[in-house]
Amino acid sequence: AMAHGPGRCRCCCGEEAAAAGARGAAWGLYLRIDRQRLQCLNERREGSGALVFRAWEERGDRTQFVESDDDEELLFNIPFTGNVKLKGVIVMGEDDGSHPAAMRLFRNIPHMSFDDTAREPDQMFSLNRDPTGELEYPTKIARFSNVYHLSIHFPKNFGAETTKIFYIGLKGEWTEAHRHEVTICNYEASANPADHKLEQISPQTHFIS
């Protein structure tokens, strides 16, 4: 075996750091979530659902997590600030019964409730316990190529009373949405030509009288 000199070791570490950086960048869709409108239904602590969407490098922070309240179900409504091509999902939990056991994805159904989860999901996964956030679940890209709203339903876990999630990673591409309603507002705000016609006619009316 070849001796591992200090220079060579630095080189390896540099390559590993670059690879980790590239992987982290791929999981940057959390930056494209409209957090003001993000919802997590059945979260025990209000606002905790939003904490699990963060940088891939920060997935190991176990002070930030969401735990379900009444039962093991959790439902996330995730609006994006544009259109997303979703390529993969990571779900990280404890290495115990509180880790979600299944994940169901729905696209473009804003404000989903638990009643709405009775419908057929766009894709469903059986999950493995993943305490380190390494397992990637690839989506059917053709089905998730134009997503402006993603709902993630966790219907069950591995047997605990409540479900606990530390990190959800979303991998994909983001493009800016072209908003037509802005143009319509501009037209409505512009002056009404009919108002000007009345002004032009009124001097003639005074002249005749």
Read off the pLDDT band of 26 (50, 70, 90): confident
For residue 2, what are its two tokens? 């070849």
* pLDDT value of residue 53: 98
Read off the pLDDT band of 25 (50, 70, 90): confident
Q: Is the pLDDT of residue 45 over 80?
A: yes
What CATH number belongs to 38-176? Answer: 2.60.120.470
Backbone angles phi, psi at 150, to 5 degrees: -120, 130
* pLDDT value of residue 106: 98
Mean per-residue pLDDT for 53-79?
Answer: 97
Question: Can you tell me the distance from the alpha carbon of 68 to that of 138, in angstroms, rounded to the nearest whole number?
Answer: 25
Please provide the DSSP assignment of 95-127 as one string. SSTTSB-EEEEEES-TT--GGGGGSPPSEEEEP
* pLDDT value of residue 49: 98
* pLDDT value of residue 179: 61
Read off the pLDDT band of 37 (50, 70, 90): very high
pTM, entire model: 0.77
Domain coordinates in residue numbering, the chain: 38-176
Going by C-alpha positions, the residue among 148, 145, 142, 139 that lies closest to residue 105 is: 139
Going by C-alpha positions, the residue among 90, 108, 98 that lies closest to residue 54 is: 90
Q: Is the pLDDT of residue 198 over 90?
A: no
Q: Is the pLDDT of residue 193 over 90?
A: no
Q: Is the pLDDT of residue 84 over 70?
A: yes
Question: Can you tell me the distance from the alpha carbon of 168 to that of 91, in angstroms, rounded to the nearest whole number?
Answer: 5
Question: Can you tell me the distance from the alpha carbon of 171 to that of 181, in angstroms, rounded to the nearest whole number?
Answer: 29
Three-class secondary structure assignment of 145-202: CCEEEEEEEECCECCCCCCEECEEEEEEEEECCCCHHHHHHHHHHCCCHHHHHHHHHH
How long a stretch of residues is the chain? 209
For residue 20, what are its two tokens? 């980790």
Read off the pLDDT band of 10 (50, 70, 90): very low
* pLDDT value of residue 68: 98
> pLDDT tens digits, residue range 131-169?
999 999 999 999 999 999 999 999 999 999 999 999 999
Q: Is the pLDDT of residue 183 over 70?
A: no
Read off the pLDDT band of 177 (50, 70, 90): confident
Task: Determine the straight-line distance between the first and last CA of the chain, rounded to whole angstroms.
Answer: 110
Read off the pLDDT band of 79 (50, 70, 90): very high
> pLDDT tens digits, residue range 52-62?
999 999 999 99
Backbone angles phi, psi at 208, to 5 degrees: -65, -40
